[in-house]
Amino acid sequence: MTSTSLSNKHHTLLKLLRKALDNSNQVELPKGNDWASVLELASEQEVIGLAATGIEAVQGEWLKVNGSSHSEVAKPSAPLIPKMLLLQWIGLSEMQRQQFEQTWRVACKLDKLWTAEGIQATVLKGRSIAKFYPVPSHRYSCDLDVFIGSEWGRACELLEGQGIWLEHEVYKEVEFTLDNVYV
């Protein structure tokens, strides 16, 4: 790849992210995008879902500009992103959304277990930051981070009592998997 195409894909991704975060800004994407490389970059940066929000907003603007001015459905002369690549992008975003929902189910399950015993847990990082995204499920997270204060030992005992194997690698920190979510 040439440095121009690298610059182009970075520029395109940044514009999509800006559009996702501030839909009021008008966005003009660079011409001649290699959309496969933009998708690859979005994947590497773990912003596929957020970029998909930007694509949806830009695509809507593009249809208004290039479509018909009548009340009928706008029919653009050429698609913004090739259909198969767009479908792949949507599929990856949906997988991320499902993972987000599964992580939430595990967080609720842990909360129910610990709250019943008077243990307070705080969800950190990913889930907490997601509420600031236009679509919270577009915040990529590969795990669930939870903080337990002084009741840490009891919280671990409750997990082990449920048959969950805890990996004690670092002092006052454990790792485990629950319902296919790494905690």
- Could you list the pLDDT tens digit for every one of the 183 residues in the chain? 445 556 889 999 999 999 999 888 788 888 788 999 999 999 999 999 999 999 988 887 655 555 444 444 444 444 578 889 999 999 999 999 999 999 999 999 999 999 999 999 999 888 788 888 888 888 888 899 999 989 999 999 999 999 999 998 777 789 999 999 999
In a domain, 144, yes or no: yes
Dmax (CA) for the chain in angstroms is 66
Q: Of the residues 31, 46, 81, which one is the last residue of a structural domain?
A: 81
Pairing of strands 181-182, 177-178: antiparallel
Closest listed residue to residue 37, CA positions, set 82, 5, 78, 80: 5
Domain that holds residue 117: 98-182
Same-domain pairing of 67 and 136: no
Q: Of the residues 81, 111, 138, which one is the last residue of a structural domain?
A: 81
Residue 124, SS3 per DSSP: strand
pLDDT of residue 5: 53
Q: Of the residues 36, 56, 81, which one is the last residue of a structural domain?
A: 81
pLDDT of residue 155: 95
pLDDT of residue 134: 86
User: Which tokens go with 83?
Assistant: 């259909």
What is the C-alpha R_g of the chain?
21
pTM of the model: 0.77
**What whole-number distance in Å separates Cα of residue 44 and Cα of residue 96?**
14
Domain count, the chain: 2
